[in-house]
Structure 1
Amino acid sequence: MKYLSVIIILLLLCCPSWSQVFWQRAVTNYSKQQYLSGNQNWQVSQLGNGWMYFANNKGLLEFDGVYWNTYPLQHEAKARAVEAVGGRVYVGGLGQFGFFEPNIYGQLQYHDLSPKEKSASVINIWNIHLLDDRVVFQGDDGVYVYYKGHIRHIRCERGISYSNVIYGRLYAVSRDGIYLLVGNRFELIPHTKEITHEKIISLLPFHGRLLAVTSHHGLFVSSGGNFLPYHSPTDVLLQGKQLSCADINSSHLALGTLQDGVILQNLKTGNVSRISTHNGLQNKTVLSLLFDRENNLWLGLDNGIDCISFNAHLFFLDSRLSPVGSGYASALYDGVFYLGTNQGVYATSSPLDINREVSTTFMKGTDGQSLGMSVYDDRLFCGGRNYFVMINHGHLTSFPLRGVWNIMPSHRQPHILYLGTYWGLYVMKKQGGEWRLIGKVKGVGLSAKTMLVERATDAIWIANKEKGLYRIKLSDDHKTVLQAKCYNSKLLPKGNNVSMAEINNQIVVASRQGLFRYHYAADRLERYVTLENMLGGSQPYTYIHQDSKRNIWYASQGMMHVLHYDAIHHRYYRNQGEVYLAGNLMDDFESICELAGDRYVFGTENGYAMLHMIGHYNQQERPEVQVRYIWARGFRDSLVYAHSIAGTNRKLILPYRDNSIKIEYSASNYDRSQTVLYAYRLEGPKSEPWSVYTTSHSKEYTDLPGGHYVFHVRVITTRSSKPIVTQVAFDVLPPWYLTWWARLSCLFLVGLFVWLLIRRYRQKQRQLITEGLQKLEQQQKRFEAESSVKDQKIEDLENEKIKIELRSKSEELIRSRMNVVRKNEMLQEIKKTVVSISNAINEDNLPSIRRKVIRLMGQIDTNIEHDDDMEAFQTSFDAVHHDFLSLLRQRFPNLTHKEEMLCIYIRMNLMSKEIAPLLNISLRGVEISRYRLRKKLKLKEGTSLGDFLQQITNDSESV
Structure 2
Amino acid sequence: MLENFPPSNYQNKGKIWDIASAPNGIVYMAADLGLIEYDGKTWNTFKGSTGFTRSLKVINDSIIYTGSDLDFGIWRKNQFLAFEYTSLYPFQQDLAELNEEFWKVYQVEDHILFVSSQNIYIYRNDQLTKIAAPGKFSGSFAVNDSLYFADETLGLLILRNLALRQVFPFPAGQHLTISGIYHHGNDKIIVTRDSGLFRYSNGNLSPENNLFSETLKTATVFSFEHIENNYLAFGTVLRGLFVADLNGNVIHQINKNKGLQNNTILSLHYSHSGKLWLGMDYGISVIDLNNHFTYLVDYRGDFGTAQTALLRNGIFYLGTNQGLYQTPWENLNNDAEFSRFELVEGTEGQVWALTEFENSMFIGHDRGLFSYTQSGLQRIGNHQGVWTILPYKDYLLAGNYNGISVFEKSGNDWVFLKRMELILGSCNQLITENEDILWVNIPNFGLIRAVLDNDLFPVERVIFPEEDFEGSHPRLFKDEEGIHLLTSNHKYTYNASSNDFSRDTTEILFPGIEALLPGFYKPVALNQDYEFFPVYNGFALKYLHFAEELNAPHALPVLRKVEAFNNDEKALFFPGALIPSRFNNLRFEFVVPNRSDVLYQYLWSGKQEWSKWSPENNFDFYNLKHGNHTLLVRAKMNGEITEATEVSFNIATPWYHSWYASVFYIAVLILAILFFRKWQKVTLKKQKKKMLIRERHSLRKQALKYRQEIMQMEQERLKLESNKLKEQLKNKTVELANKAKENEDKNRLLLLLKDKCAKAQDKPAQSKMRWSEIQRLLDSYLSVEDKTFEIQMDELHQEFFQKLKDQFPALSVHDLRLCAYLKIGLNSKEIAEILNILPSSAFISRSRLRKKLNLNPEDDLHDFLNSI
Return the TM-score normalized by structure 2: 0.77
- Aligned match of 2:485: 509
- Structure 1 stretch 732-741 or stretch 495-504: which is displaced more? 732-741
Map 1:784-803; keep pairs closer than 5 Å: 785-791=700-706, 794=709
Map 1:607-622; keep pairs closer than 5 Å: 607-616=538-547, 619-622=551-554
Letter paired with 2:264: T
Deviations along 1:418-463, one digit per CA (max 9) or x if unpaired, are: 221111121111232432111212322222123322215x222223
1:751–1:300: structure 2 CA closer, same or farther, 3 Å change rule? same
Q: 2:147 aligns with which of 151, 170, 174?
A: 170
Letter paired with 2:577: L
Map 1:521-670; keep pairs closer than 5 Å: 521-522=497-498, 524-527=499-502, 532-533=504-505, 535-536=506-507, 561=510, 579-581=511-513, 584-590=515-521, 592-616=523-547, 619-633=551-565, 638-641=570-573, 650-669=575-594
Map 1:203-602; keep pairs closer than 5 Å: 203-249=181-227, 250-268=229-247, 270-271=249-250, 273-350=252-329, 353-356=333-336, 357-399=338-380, 400-410=382-392, 414-456=393-435, 458-478=436-456, 480-488=457-465, 491-492=468-469, 497-504=473-480, 506-511=482-487, 514-522=490-498, 524-527=499-502, 532-533=504-505, 535-536=506-507, 561=510, 579-581=511-513, 584-590=515-521, 592-602=523-533
3-state secondary structure, aligned to 2:676: helix
Deviations along 1:86-125, one digit per CA (max 9) or x if unpaired, are: 4521101111111112233433222221116746866221
Distance 2:573 2:451 in 1: 66
1:497–1:870: structure 2 CA closer, same or farther, 3 Å change rule? farther
8 Å contact kept, 2:447–2:466: no
8 Å contact kept, 2:15–2:280: yes
8 Å contact kept, 2:323–2:348: yes
8 Å contact kept, 2:33–2:51: yes
Letter paired with 1:27: L
Distance 2:717 2:265 in 1: 119
1:715 and 2:695 are equivalent in the alignment: no
Distance 1:484 1:396 in 2: 36
Distance 2:390 2:605 in 1: 57
Structure 2: gaps of 5 or more residues: 721-828
8 Å contact kept, 2:184–2:246: no
8 Å contact kept, 1:192–1:226: no
1:258–1:484: structure 2 CA closer, same or farther, 3 Å change rule? same
Deviation at 1:354, TM superposition (A): 2.9
8 Å contact kept, 1:42–1:81: yes
Deviation at 1:625, TM superposition (A): 2.5
Distance 2:452 2:207 in 1: 76
Letter paired with 1:525: D
Deviation at 1:477, TM superposition (A): 2.3
8 Å contact kept, 2:346–2:377: no
1:887–1:28: structure 2 CA closer, same or farther, 3 Å change rule? farther
Distance 2:715 2:40 in 1: 99
8 Å contact kept, 2:2–2:288: yes
1:668–1:780: structure 2 CA closer, same or farther, 3 Å change rule? closer
8 Å contact kept, 2:560–2:590: yes
Distance 1:612 1:864 in 2: 141
Letter paired with 2:154: G
Deviation at 1:611, TM superposition (A): 0.9
8 Å contact kept, 1:669–1:676: no
Deviation at 1:489, TM superposition (A): 9.1
1:517–1:299: structure 2 CA closer, same or farther, 3 Å change rule? closer
1:323–1:736: structure 2 CA closer, same or farther, 3 Å change rule? farther
Distance 1:512 1:224 in 2: 63
Q: 1:138 aligns with which of 99, 115, 118?
A: 115
Distance 2:563 2:312 in 1: 56
8 Å contact kept, 2:486–2:521: no
Deviation at 1:735, TM superposition (A): 5.7
Larger Rg: 2
Q: 1:676 aligns with which of 597, 605, 610?
A: 597
1:686–1:166: structure 2 CA closer, same or farther, 3 Å change rule? closer
Letter paired with 2:541: M
- Aligned match of 1:849: none
8 Å contact kept, 1:234–1:263: no
**Alpha carbon RMSD of aligned pairs, Å?**
4.0
8 Å contact kept, 1:328–1:589: no
Distance 1:888 1:737 in 2: 88
1:79 and 2:53 are equivalent in the alignment: yes
Distance 2:106 2:333 in 1: 39
1:681–1:624: structure 2 CA closer, same or farther, 3 Å change rule? closer
1:160–1:487: structure 2 CA closer, same or farther, 3 Å change rule? closer
Deviation at 1:514, TM superposition (A): 3.8
Deviation at 1:261, TM superposition (A): 1.5
3-state secondary structure, aligned to 1:234: helix
Distance 2:104 2:401 in 1: 65
Deviation at 1:140, TM superposition (A): 2.7
Distance 1:360 1:149 in 2: 61
Distance 2:78 2:39 in 1: 18
1:755–1:141: structure 2 CA closer, same or farther, 3 Å change rule? same
8 Å contact kept, 1:716–1:724: no
1:476–1:133: structure 2 CA closer, same or farther, 3 Å change rule? same
Map 1:794-833; keep pairs closer than 5 Å: 794=709
Distance 1:481 1:147 in 2: 86
3-state secondary structure, aligned to 2:582: helix
Deviation at 1:581, TM superposition (A): 0.9
8 Å contact kept, 1:708–1:731: yes
Letter paired with 2:527: A
8 Å contact kept, 2:399–2:428: yes
8 Å contact kept, 2:272–2:552: no
Map 1:769-780; keep pairs closer than 5 Å: 776=692
Distance 1:213 1:189 in 2: 15
Query: How many residues are treated as equivalent by the alignment?
Result: 743
Deviation at 1:56, TM superposition (A): 0.7
Distance 2:706 2:854 in 1: 36
Distance 2:708 2:307 in 1: 103
8 Å contact kept, 2:134–2:153: no
Deviation at 1:176, TM superposition (A): 0.9
Greater relative contact order: 1 or 2 (C-alpha under 8 angstroms, separation 6 or more)? 1
1:59 and 2:34 are equivalent in the alignment: yes
Distance 1:184 1:452 in 2: 73
Deviation at 1:780, TM superposition (A): 6.9
- Aligned match of 2:738: none
1:209–1:505: structure 2 CA closer, same or farther, 3 Å change rule? closer
1:702–1:348: structure 2 CA closer, same or farther, 3 Å change rule? farther
Deviation at 1:34, TM superposition (A): 1.6
Letter paired with 2:379: S
Distance 1:374 1:786 in 2: 113
Distance 2:287 2:185 in 1: 24
